[in-house]
Chains A and B, each alone.
Chain A
Amino acid sequence: MTSGPNVDAFVEFERVQKSYDGESLVVKDLNLSIGKGEFLTMLGPSGSGKTTCLMMLAGFETATHGEIRLNGRGINNIPPHKRGIGMVFQNYALFPHMSVNENLAFPLQVRGLSKSETESKVKRALDMVQMGAFGNRRPAQLSGGQQQRIAVARALVFDPELVLMDEPLGALDKQLREQMQYEIKHIHENLGVTVVYVTHDQSEALTMSDRIAVFNDGVIQQLADPETLYERPDNSFCAQFIGENNKLGGKVIAIDGDTATVEFDDGATCKALACNCEGVGERSLLSIRPERVKIESSQTPDSVSARVLELIYLGDHIRCRMDVHGHNGFIVKVPNSAGHAQMNVGETVNLTWEREDCRALDVI
């Protein structure tokens, strides 16, 4: 997490707090700097404060405490229409009584651009999203994906340096959503605008972002690039929220450098990378990604024995649910490659993993 004044920051939240009712804080002490040209995603479950942050940035909510700066300038007292921030709304908010062209011309008209300039900019924006032929349609005559493109074009048509997107793909079906993810990503790369993107879909966040801020309970749990976030989650919440994760609860009995030894409830022990555990004698949750677990044919000193409870055939891989040290929700993904291990339900197998892949984290 970055805090304090930052010279390179384009958007900056400094000690920002927000409360709606004066009793509880929706956003607690938020510090966040976003670089120019960055694609930053605010990811979190609903009610985690991510949309509130976006609305404060857009100017539709006022911060209860703290300062928000854009390009080094405090914007707390600047009304939304003077901030010059493009925004894509959850349900697109395309004006239903205007044609696509009129929708795109709207921000240019209120800025007093000439007619010819407006026309050329609208055309350029429509071409950018491959919707040049749809200028005279009404939003209601467009499919969801087409409306989505128009909404993006409208947010970009007046050349804002910052674009906010509030779960813009939530209403699309899975296939279209994936396609739009790439398109938005490419538009971002081509134009070099700064994008702040809000979503609760972790795969969307991983696909598109330069950095991801994971929100929970009004606090940024971790701010990192997608790889770091997935590979090295700072805490159990991030490990659970991003990707699939196996958790094993136990008690730390020794810490040696960055290696923690954890004792499970059934007495067995295991070595893990000490990341975010309180210390010897405290409880910890071990986090292991399902694809990092290997099934060994023979027992080794580090292996763990597990009983197969359920096998689900998924084509490219086989999901095995296993009982490991009394945790019966332990998932292992076995790639469906030539000569993969054959297993039967009820059978006991040996599992191994690298010490680095098993992270000892806090208990939630």
Chain B
Amino acid sequence: MSDTHNAPVIAADGTPLKARLARALFRRKLDAFLLVSPLLVFLLVFFLAPIGWFLSKGFHDDLFSTEMPNTSAVLADWDGTTEPTEAHYAALVTDLVETRKTRTIGKVATRVNRELSGSRSLFTSTARKAAKMEAPFKDALIKTKKDWGEIAVWQAMKAASRTFTIGYYANALDRRQLADGSVVAQPEERRIHVKLLIRTLEISFQVTLYCLLLGYPIAYLLATLPNRTSNLLMILVLLPFWTSILVRTTAWIAMLQSQGVLNDVFVFLGVTPDEARFSLIYNKLGTLIAMTHILLPFMVLPLYSVMKGIPPSYVRAAKSLGATNWTAFWRVYAPQTVPGIGAGAILVFIVAIGYYITPALVGGQDGQMISNFIDFHMRRSLNWNLAAALGTVLLLVVLTLYWVYDRVVGIDNMKLG
């Protein structure tokens, strides 16, 4: 016996068996890899690479250092507190002339403006005159605009000149990075992102909770009714699921708006006078109602599939052992649906936390979520770096919650069907 363990086993053709096996397995692995490679390439090129590139914008910003190379070079050595010297001003003028020629001054001005609001016109107007300036440049610049003497402008440029920056993440968390590299809290009136993130989490938790409360009885009904009836009811669950989100959301607008169906009914029934109709939409309530409705199938389907797998004999056994209906449900049935609750809750929550269209349409002011802000920075303010930072923060929050969920409930406990 021991001989066979020590000496390498030889295959029929004389080569070692291990090598033969590895060759045989390699071919199968290669086949498998070739089969998935089209999808892999597609995902890499059109999904992972763009996302990775975009997310890198959250901490990588080389606009200022590329467009203003001379200024960036001198600013790198500057300590950020002493008075800028003639060398600084000279480098700035050289770069302003160059950026005016290449028509990139607008971009540069926008970039610095993010660090110091109101400084945009300072750059664009000075650049127009920079070509005619003569040494000493310090006096010439301050003569044109006396703001150039302000140290804050130079600090803003130093902050903008960092290629790798945590400034955007600081901003996403309502903080800002000063010229000396330290991070401080934003002034009170500019703190919006953390509040927004908390509201996003709150709305997602609430939507998840309402979906569970509404979905559990439906799933139970679907799982216990005879097949013919439950199939019919299942279509009622799935039909909205197959309908466009836009259609469903706008349907809620028709239902909930102040001149909408629901308010008309309330007025007709005398619940509220005509002049004081309820505001059911264009606020947080509207977001909650519409999102709960839209995400309900994500809760019902996993719950249903788990409940369908629980044989009725468990509850019968509990009753035969002396348990009342309530005890049998609570101690025997409900614990066995936990995997479904877990799966449904995490599905609804994760879809909800990144929800965009519905809050945009029915959310009004206080029903907006973090995705709406990301969209704002993508399309309106064109601050893609901040959008990337906000997106990364959202991603990290989701991953953290997922980790907590795994620790508390256990991800193996989840059952999708």
Contact = CB atoms under 8 A, between A and B. Distances in A.
Interface of A: 58-60, 79-87, 89-91, 93-97, 106-107, 110-111, 154-155, 158, 164
Contacts of B320: 58-59, 80-81, 83, 85-87, 155, 164
Nearest to B314: A93
Contacts of A164: 320
B416 interface: no
B316 A93 contact: yes
Interface in B301-338: 311, 313-314, 316-325, 327-328, 331-332, 335-336
B323 A81 contact: yes
Contacts of B335: 97
Contacts of A95: 314, 317-318, 332, 336
Nearest to B320: A87
6 contacts: A81-B321, A81-B328, A93-B316, A95-B332, A106-B318, A107-B321
Contacts of B318: 95, 106
Contacts of A93: 311, 313-314, 316-317
A97 B410 CA distance: 15
Contacts of B324: 81, 110
Contact of B323 (A83, A87, A91, A106): A106
Nearest to A85: B320
| Residue among B320, B324, B328, B335 having the largest count of chain A Cβ atoms under 10 Å | B320
B322 A111 contact: yes
Interface of B: 311, 313-314, 316-325, 327-328, 331-332, 335-336
A305 B316 CA distance: 57
A107 B325 CA distance: 14
Given A93-B311, A97-B335, A97-B336, A107 B316 contact: no
B1 to A, nearest CB: 32
A59 to B, nearest CB: 8
Nearest to A82: B322
A281 B328 CA distance: 61
B322 A84 contact: yes
Given A95-B332, A97-B336, A110-B327, A158 B321 contact: yes
A176 B322 CA distance: 30
For the complex of A and B, list the 8 residue pairs with the smallest distance between their C-beta atoms, beginning with the closest. A107-B321, A93-B317, A87-B320, A93-B313, A80-B319, A97-B335, A81-B319, A89-B313
A149 B211 CA distance: 41
A90 B313 contact: yes
A58 B323 CA distance: 13
Contacts of B319: 59-60, 79-81
A110 B323 contact: yes
Contacts of A58: 316, 320
A245 to B, nearest CB: 35
Contacts of A106: 318, 321, 323, 331
